[in-house]
Chains A and B, each alone.
Chain A
Amino acid sequence: EAQVTQNPRYLITVTGKKLTVTCSQNMNHEYMSWYRQDPGLGLRQIYYSMNVEVTDKGDVPEGYKVSRKEKRNFPLILESPSPNQTSLYFCASSLGQTTGELFFGEGSRLTVL
C-alpha cells in the first residue's frame, strides 16, 4: 500500500530536549516536504527536498532542521524545541515538483511544555 508514515504520532516534550520526527514514503517519490498546521494559519511549509541531499527552506524554517540522506526518508529535527513549536506536523511527498498530488502522512501532534 502506497503511504507516507510519520512517527511519533503524538509527543509531549519539554523545552530544549532535542527530538526527531521521522517520515518515510514507499512510493519512490523525489519530492518531500514538511508542513505545520496551526488553528487559523492553515498549512505552512517548513522545509522541502527535491531529491537526495537537496533541501531548501520553506516559509517557516526557524528552529527546524532536515536531512535527506535516502530517497524514502525525510526526518524533521527540532534541536531545542520551544513552546511556539507546539503544533500538528505533516510530512508529504509527490512524484516530482509540486505540480502534482501531494500525499500526506497522518500527522504528528507535538506539544512542547
Chain B
Amino acid sequence: GENVEQHPSTLSVQEGDSAVIKCTYSDSASNYFPWYKQELGKRPQLIIDIRSNVGEKKDQRIAVTLNKTAKHFSLHITETQPEDSAVYFCAAAGAGSYQLTFGKGTKLSVIP
C-alpha cells in the first residue's frame, strides 16, 4: 500500500517568515495530494490540494509543489501569521483508490 513520510514533525518560525513542509510518497500511481490543517481541538480541514497533472498550485499565501519523478510534494506558507499555528497533514491517493493515506503531521508554531 501507499506510504507517506512527512517532515519535519515540528517547525517553529517567526511571524512573517516562510514555512515549508515536505512529504514523500511510495506509490508512483498516486495522483491526488491534499493538505489538511488541524487547529488545536478542531477537526482537520482541507486547505489546498494538487493533482498529478499539475506541478504547482497557489492560493494566496499557501502553495503546493509536486515532483512526480522524485515522488515528493511540499507545502509552502509565506508571510506566516499566528493563526497559521496548527498541525498540518499531507496525504496521497491513487487513481481509482478509495484509500487516502496521511502523513504523521507537522506541528507548526508561528512565534509573534
* Interface of A toward B, CB cutoff 8 Å: 31, 33, 35, 40-45, 48, 50, 56, 58-59, 90, 97-99, 101-102, 104-107
A-B contact count (CB 8 A): 61
Q: Residues of B contacting A41 with CB < 8 Å?
A: 104
Of A45, A50, A90, which one neighbours B101 at CB under 8 angstroms? A45
Q: Residues of B contacting A58 with CB < 8 Å?
A: 99
Interchain CB contact under 8 A, B93 and A43? no
- Besides the contacts A42-B104, A43-B102, A56-B98, what 19 more A-B pairs have beta carbons closer than 8 Å? A33-B100, A40-B104, A41-B104, A42-B103, A42-B105, A43-B44, A43-B89, A43-B105, A44-B102, A50-B98, A59-B99, A59-B101, A90-B43, A97-B97, A98-B98, A98-B99, A99-B93, A102-B100, A107-B43
* Interface of B toward A, CB cutoff 8 Å: 1, 6, 9, 31-32, 34, 36, 42-46, 49, 51, 89, 93, 95-105
Bound-state Cα–Cα, A43 to B20, Å: 20
Of B46, B98, B102, which one neighbours A48 at CB under 8 angstroms? B98
Bound-state Cα–Cα, A43 to B88, Å: 11
Between-chain CB contacts (< 8 Å), 9 pairs: A33-B100, A42-B6, A42-B102, A42-B103, A59-B99, A98-B32, A99-B32, A102-B34, A104-B45
Given A48-B99, A98-B93, check contact A106 B43 (CB 8 Å).
yes
